[in-house]
Amino acid sequence: MEQNYLTITDHRTGKTYQVKIENDTINAMDLRQIKVKDDDFGMMTYDPGFKNTASCKSNITYIDGDKGILRYRGYPIEQVAEKINYLKTAYLIINGELPTTAEMERWTWNVTHHTMIHENIKKFIEGFRYDAHPMGIFISTVAALSTFYPDSLDIMNPESRLLQSYRLIGKVPTIAAAAYRHSKGLPYVYPDNDLSY
């Protein structure tokens, strides 16, 4: 028998089960095979607050809350926050490594050419009450972007996904500023692509 299995004996039935261990975790769905009767739903886990539950595998982030560790693509969050700007961080998260100078120039050009928002998005924002919370305006507006860009629904196309990344990274600061200014009763200001994030 391979050593990367957990053996579980259900003393209710006397049956023994093997559950595969991968990266020091077991797949909770593998517990469904443990049943008292054949027509039972199967064993489930209960973990209030998800204190010991991994919701997904990620090559992007690593978190160990007990030790205070947060890494993006292997880089400690302290280093990312202190030394890497917004656009480089976005590039790192999407591409898995920091950009070269040439890659960063292309990336910056592509993102900054998507900072403007459609005039109808401005009208959408203006439809919110003057005292609406800026975060509610922001979240709703980001959610509505797909209605302004129907080509964004082609999620199986890598070029389309990259275009949507440029759009989101470029438009999110513009939308955040517009939502804030709307909540303060101030006029919308067009983005200045010569400024940094």
Residue 178: pLDDT above 60?
yes
Please, what is the angle between helix 119-126 and helix 158-183, to 10°?
40
Residue 104: pLDDT above 90?
yes
Query: In this predicted model, what pLDDT tens digit does every residue of 52-95 receive, in sequence order?
Result: 777 777 889 988 888 999 999 999 999 999 999 999 999 999 99
Phi, psi of 10 (to 5 degrees): -90, 105
Residues 36 and 42 sit within 8 Å (Cβ to Cβ): no
11 vs 193: CA distance, rounded Å:
66
Residues 189 and 177 sit within 8 Å (Cβ to Cβ): yes
pTM over 0.75: no
187 vs 118: CA distance, rounded Å:
16
Residues 5 and 20 sit within 8 Å (Cβ to Cβ): yes
Which one-letter amino acid corresponds to residue 122?
K
pLDDT (average), residues 116-129: 95
147 vs 62: CA distance, rounded Å:
33
pLDDT (average), residues 140-164: 92
Closest CA to 169 of 120, 109, 123: 109
